[in-house]
Amino acid sequence: MTPYQTLCTLSKEVALLSSIEALLSWDIETYLPPGGIEARSEQMAFLATMIHSQTIQPTFLKNLRKLIDLKSGKFLKKNLTKEEKANLFHWRRKLKETLSLPAHFVTEFAKTTSQATTIWQKARTEDRFSLFLPVLKKIISLCRKKADYLGYEEHPYDALLDLFEPSMTTKKITPLFAELKEGLCSLLSSIEKKEKPRDDFLHQIFPASEQLKWTPKLLAAYALNKNSYRVDLSAHPFSTEMHPSDVRFTSRIIENHPTSHLFSTLHEAGHALYAQNLPVKYFGTPLCEAISMGMHESQSRFWEVFIGKSKAFWRYFYPKLQESFQKQLKKISFEEFYRAIHIVKPSLIRIESDEMTYSLHIIIRYEIEKALIEGSLKAEDIPEAWEEKMQNYLGVSPSSDKDGALQDIHWSMGSFGYFPSYTLGNLYAAQFFEAFQQRNALWERSIQKGDFAFISDFLKTNIHRYGKLYSSEEILQRITKRPLQVSCFLSYLKTKYEKIYCDEGPSSR
């Protein structure tokens, strides 16, 4: 085989191991019996060590050196295709990252986070941050070590952020988030002065069995391959992929809060569609991987918010929803329902927050994470910092750890640097949606008739099919002709909510 073919073969072996690791992680959140966590943590640590070893094996290193200079990134062979160059670029990047992390550290990190997930679940159930604190301290310490191993130029958090959103730094993200925070707080202040729509009818009992029947109805809009995904329930909705032909995601059901299931399903299915549409012929190489976590999040938010909360979407689906829940919704008009799902009300829970306040939840987490990694905040002071920021930005304060610092699973997984991806996803999605509207002037008319295929086609054609051929910045420029900015998202929110919160809407009586 040629050096490039050898690299593809070895890369696929690593991808297969990673897919097994993903399956075991999915099982932890869904079907693993409580007594199995100790054995599972050992399995995860074993796999992480094996993946680490395979990634830096001498044969891979030897063949990669024949095609690209590991220090400079200069290509050493002429006539390489753009696809080959992209794979070589990402293989070199991953290799440098992996070589930076000692095998003993990788094993310790995997074992610690596997155990921490179960500890977090118990601490959350019992509403005891103190139970989670010892292992959280250890994870923070490990994340600081990871940043040191990986290296950074200006801030240790940059090394962790780069793992999820390549080339993003605190220097770039801090002013973006500051501008966004100012804009959101201004919009929120304006809306809070207006009368809120009624939503009491959404807090009746919507039986879980009937809500479950709605999952396939919603998913019909996505053009998902029915033989290549599975949906389950979990406390914290998530999505993971083993292969484009094997994608798993979860939703959750709250009987007196039906929109939780509706919108978490729309959200996670957006992730699933991206995973299914990645070019399977390149499986095992970076060309069959998502560009970044922010880009992945943009696909879920595009469906959940920009499509799933549009008037056109519910013009089609609401009559069907009324039919399924006649007792609860028969007397509720379309306009009442539409305004109810757009109530802007600062809440304690991130995943249940409205699209206006959602990013403020992320900014709070970003600021806390950054402070923890740089050492300006101690782990035991997280609940106090959390309460203070929630009060300052959203005007609400958690009365329990369960609704505060224990509500997210990410820290137990060691995923420091992940949270900013959620808001970056909102910003990406807003720019994509603007371009989508420009290219599909009659999109609302089509959706109202039940035609959704062109939405999936737009995303697949412009984003999914490329894998990691282009960076996030390049994809944005190709589709929107502009770099990442906050103004598009703020403009979308302002235009939409000024109409919803006009004085002529149904009152809250």
Selected catalytic residue, list 268, 304, 355, 367: 268
Q: Quote the CA–CA distance of 209 and 22 in Å, as a whole number.
A: 29
Residue 153 is a catalytic residue: no
Q: Which of 50, 463, 23, 506 is nearest to 275 (CA)?
A: 463
Length of the chain: 509
What CA–CA distance (Å, rounded) separates 12 from 10? 5
Q: Say which amino acid occupies 266.
A: L
Distance of CA 323 to the CA centre of its chain: 32
Q: Which residues contact 347 (CB under 8 A, 6 or more apart)?
A: 353, 354, 357, 394, 396
Please name the residue that has the structure tokens 């798993």: 248
Question: What does each C-alpha distance from 95 to 57, 90, 153 come to in angstroms?
Answer: 10, 8, 19
Q: What count of Cα atoms within 13 Å lies in the side-chain half-sphere of residue 347?
A: 14
Least Cα distance to 247 among 455, 19, 18, 459 occurs for 19
Please state the three-class secondary structure of 428-470 as a single string.
HHHHHHHHHHHHCCCHHHHHHCCCCHHHHHHHHHHCHHHCCCC
Angle at 415 between CA 47 and CA 114, to 5 degrees: 40
Q: Which residues are catalytic?
A: 268
